[in-house]
Chain A
Amino acid sequence: MKQIFPDIKLLLFLIFISLLLILLDSLNFLTLPQKAIQTVTAPIQYGLYKGGKTLGAQFEFLILARKAAQENKALKIQLGELLTETANLKSQLSETQELIDQYNKLSPKTFDLLPARIIGTGRYLIIDKGLTDKIDVGQTVVFKDNYIGQIKSSDPKISTVLLLTDPDSRVAVFSQGEEGRARGILSGQFGSDVLMDKILHQEEVKIGDLVYSEGTEGRLPKGLIMGRVIQVFERENEIFKQAKVEPVFNVEDLDVVFVIRI
């Protein structure tokens, strides 16, 4: 025992003192000296308490700021996702509306219409439907009852469309106005112009007349709107008249077109 506790007497003495202090304190005999000492220690403790509280508030602020930054980041991501979702919904709504308009113009009972998204424009229009969707060369691409072009080539997943304005485009058309009708060949020019050529002199064509497809190309239905006459070229010594035609729709403004699968 002595080896383990060399100061066993001191230990027992201090334990006794501790117990005595507990007893005296519980009987309120130590209140006066306690109060006397507290006059010194209380201000120190108060200062430390206030300092600790301020320090704690600073740490809390840092933690809150960090949490707020994380929340802000998460909210920004969420906002981005919501904006994307809204944009997708708007796009889908627009496509659905266009589909309804299309079916109102060209009856799905008569024409097998396949909606296709435009995924690129240049000289040719590129759409996201191809051979796997039964798209074939020569099929007509329309928007509502307006002619857009013809399928030029088709890959499994995408197809290119020869536009009306392309120099390689040749379509038999007729113009219809109040004073009569005129037949001709609509051919694309360099740029966005389309020229209606080979119009006989005796046939009437006026500015503002609508130009329709003749339907002699096989897969091209008759009566699709090709554009509007904006200028007429007429010379006495030439056999044929010419008219400058402007397409009703700008292809670059469209999101969806329809392929007539005949």
Chain B
Amino acid sequence: MIAFIITLVCISFVQAAFLPLNLVLIILLVRSFITEGKYDLWFVFSFGLLLSFLSGFPLGGLSFIYLLLQAVVKVVKKTQFAQHWIIVLPLISTLIIFDKMAENFMFGAGFNLRSSILDIILILPIYFTVRFWEERFIPAKEVKLKIGK
């Protein structure tokens, strides 16, 4: 978990410094789609806050958007058609476009189509990387069998 947080912090700095991509948001949304962690909301809030601070947006602005987007992911995830992994591509693509539009509307940030396309291209590689990470390096919960009396 600590490695994941450190990685996200580093990516946040890089993203705010020179990388015109939305990697942090994609990673957070993909992780929310894959796992059911109890700290998901805190992650989204914290990294939204960090990115707001580093990018010069009003504090809490990105947290607010990210929380709403994650809520959408959680809703879609519960539906029947979200069982297949491929749904992650249209879902997160739509949310990234929505995020760009919200940033544009709320903070007057420019809408860069090229970086949005790059974001969409990166969704699947990030999905498989996070899934690999979660399956191999994050210990699963211990299975406890209930033995009847």
Contacts and interface: CB of A to CB of B under 8 A. Distances in A.
Interface of A: 3-5, 7, 10-11, 14-15, 17-22, 24-26, 30, 34, 37, 41, 44-45, 48-49, 51-53, 56
Given A11-B41, A11-B71, A18 B13 contact: no
A42 to B, nearest CB: 10
Nearest to A26: B58
Given A17-B45, A45-B54, 5 more contacts: A17-B60, A17-B63, A18-B64, A21-B58, A51-B18
Contacts of B13: 41, 44-45, 48
Leading 4 A-B pairs by shortest Cβ distance: A21-B60, A52-B18, A48-B17, A18-B64
B19 interface: yes
Nearest to A53: B18
Nearest to A37: B53
A48 B58 contact: no
Given A15-B64, A17-B60, A18-B64, A7 B38 contact: yes
Contact of A48 (B18, B45, B78): B18
Contacts of B53: 34, 37, 41
Interface size class of B (residues with CB under 8 A): 20 to 34
A233 B125 CA distance: 98
B16 A20 contact: no
A41 B67 CA distance: 24
Contacts of B63: 14, 17-18, 21
Contact of B59 (A4, A34, A41): A34
A14 B16 contact: no
Main secondary structure of the interface of A (DSSP, over half): helix
Contacts of B38: 7
A25 B75 contact: no
A45 B17 contact: yes
Contact of A20 (B14, B42, B60): B60
Interface string B114-127: 00000000000000
B88 interface: no
Interface in B1-28: 13-14, 16-19
10 contacts: A17-B63, A18-B45, A18-B64, A21-B59, A21-B60, A21-B63, A25-B58, A41-B53, A45-B54, A52-B14
Given A21-B49, A21-B59, A21-B63, A49 B17 contact: yes
Contacts of A15: 64, 67-68
Nearest to A48: B17
Interface in B40-85: 41-42, 44-45, 48-49, 53-54, 58-61, 63-64, 67-68, 71, 74-75, 78
Instruction: Select the residue from B13, B19, B59, B63 with max chain A CB neighbours within 10 A.
Output: B59
A51 B10 CA distance: 14
Given A25-B58, A26-B58, A48-B13, A19 B64 contact: yes
A58 to B, nearest CB: 13
Nearest to B17: A48
A5 B70 CA distance: 11
A73 B88 CA distance: 45
Contact of A22 (B54, B59, B75): B59
A49 to B, nearest CB: 4
Nearest to A55: B18
Given A4-B78, A14-B41, A44-B13, A30 B59 contact: yes
